Amino acid sequence: MKKVSGLQIFTYSMGALGQTFIYGLMSAYLMIFYTDNVGFSAAVVGTLFLVARIWDAILDPIIGLVVDRSNTKLGKFRPFILAGGILAGIFTVATFFSPQVGLVGKIVYAYITYIIWGTCYGLTDAPYWALSSAMTVEPSERTKIMSVLKIIGMLGVVGAMTLTIPLVTSLGHGNNAKGYFVVSILYGSICIIGTTIAAIFTKERVRSAPKANEKFSDSIKVIFQNPPLIIVLFGLLFYNTSSVIRDVQRTYFFTYVLHNIKLLPLFAITTALPMVISMALTPLIGKKLGKKRPFIIAGLIAVVSCAVSYYFVNNLQMLLILNAFSGVGLGMALVLITSMQGDTVEYAELKTGKRSESIVFSMCTFTMKLATAIGGAMVGYYLTFIGYKPNVEQTPFTINGMNMLMSWIPAIGFLIMVIVISFFPLSEKRHAEIVKELKERDMLEEK
């Protein structure tokens, strides 16, 4: 199969940029928007995150089943990317609007808008990542595509984390709630433009017939008869849960522990640059060493750097250095685990006779949403447990608890992730054998 062109990868990556701008805004700033600007308690927000993400996690596999049964002029995946991206951009704005009603009314409004936002995001997210497996079957090409996507996606996340606070301050003119609303309009527009470009200009080159008559139980078998996928899902669960905890807690950490929210962009940059560099180098490393061994090394770098940062809370220079090391590890790990999940598509096809990209990638989206639910709820309940009060000086016990949320707690999650992925059975040699077997089987069926 021909290599995927640079132009195709670029247009495809614009969807990642659009998605991650709004995801970065939601994951890093929605909780503090709700607690410090709308007036919700941390526990209320934690419960909202838990309920909304559980709904999303249930919905994502259903979206995958629907996508796998679709076939349109735009292809299998692109109509969902287009529609979901536009709606997700619109509801990003709605989520950061605070209506002038009572507390109960605000909570109801928050539940409605945030749950709808998650539904729309799921509608575009699972098909977007599944599209990568329809662009090529070559592992090295997939790793290259995923490397570019993750780099561009990281730029979106870091752009959101770096720009949000300065933009909120300058556009809000002293009214942070207004500032967040204007920023949501900006980021929502970026999402709509990016996903539209990806949906219109990216080509699906590996096609399979729609599964209109396939039973629901047959699609579920793709999951449970796919041990490599299950291992990847658990690895993603611990990666994303630990990352969400750090992302949500970061704004509180800089506001109440370091007492300087203006340092947050610097912290985001020292995460982004090492991540981008490691992501760019990952395809070369993966070509020589495979995927699992570099993943384990990268994961352990993240574990050690996060854990050690607990002891340097009063040393900004060391915090930045350790944060950079964690970025190196997490960037490489993210590219590799995403590429691993693509390899499980062919494994499932060999075992079940069905090529179900959408159900495979929707399960990964399901895992991400579940991790967001767990991580967001953990932060909300934990902040309540350690006695967090918005817009006041925190107690030493609360400050120590916030430091734990930025260091040891995510480090433990990343360590479990490494242990899980160490059992991943698909080497590059085994995957090549699977692709060869599938090609031979297709040739026999054609005869």
β-bridge partners, 75: 72
Q: What is the pLDDT of residue 89?
A: 96
Using the predicted structure, report yes or no on whether residue 209 has a pLDDT greater than 60: no
Contacts of 277 (CB under 8 A, 6+ apart): 328, 331
What's residue 298's pLDDT? 95
Q: Is the pLDDT of residue 51 over 60?
A: yes
Rounded to an integer, the average pLDDT of 335-352 is: 79
* Higher pLDDT, residue 331 or 446: 331
d(CA 244, CA 249): 8
For the record, the structure tokens of 336 come out as 């590799």
Give the single-character DSSP code of 72: B
Confidence of residue 27 (pLDDT cuts 50, 70, 90): confident
**Tens-place pLDDT, residues 271-296:** 888 988 898 888 888 878 888 899 99
For the domain covering 6-203+214-446, report its CATH number: 1.20.1250.20
Distance of CA 227 to the CA centre of its chain: 22
Task: Give the start-to-end residue ranges of the domains of the chain.
Answer: 6-203+214-446
pLDDT of residue 208: 58
Please give the backbone phi and psi of residue 223, each rounded to the nearest 5 degrees, phi first. Answer: -80, -55
The percentage of residues in the chain with a pLDDT greater than 90, rounded to a whole number, is: 43
User: Does residue 444 register a pLDDT over 80?
Assistant: no
Q: In sequence order, what are the residues at sequence separation of 6 or more whose Cβ sits closer than 8 angstroms to the Cβ of residue 217?
A: none
* Least confident residue range of 218-222, 339-343, 361-365: 218-222
CA dihedral 183, 184, 188, 190 (to 10 degrees): 20
Query: Is pLDDT above 70 for 71?
Result: yes
Hey, which of 238-242, 268-272, 334-338 has the most confident mean pLDDT? 238-242
Question: What pTM was computed for the model?
Answer: 0.74
pLDDT for 416 equals 97
pLDDT tens track for 373-428:
888 889 989 999 999 988 889 999 999 999 999 999 999 999 999 999 999 988 77
Q: State the average pLDDT over residues 60-76.
A: 74
**In the predicted model, what is the mean pLDDT of residues 193-205?**
88
Q: How confident is the model at residue 183 (pLDDT cuts 50, 70, 90)?
A: very high
Give 94-129 pLDDT, tens digit per residue: 999 999 899 999 999 999 999 999 899 988 887 887
Tell me if 339 sits within 8 A of 364, measured CB to CB.
no
* Residue 359 in this model has a pLDDT that exceeds 80: no
| Mean of pLDDT values over 172-178 | 90
**What pLDDT sits at residue 203?**
81
Q: Taking residues 121-145, report their average pLDDT.
A: 79
SS3 75: strand
For residue 63, pLDDT beyond 90:
no
Query: Mean pLDDT for the chain?
Result: 86
pLDDT for res 221: 66
Instruction: Decide which of 288 and 22 is more confident.
Output: 22
Whole-number pLDDT of residue 312: 95
User: For residue 303, is pLDDT > 90?
Assistant: yes
**In the predicted structure, residue 371 carries a pLDDT above the cut 80:** yes
Q: Is the pLDDT of residue 441 over 80?
A: no
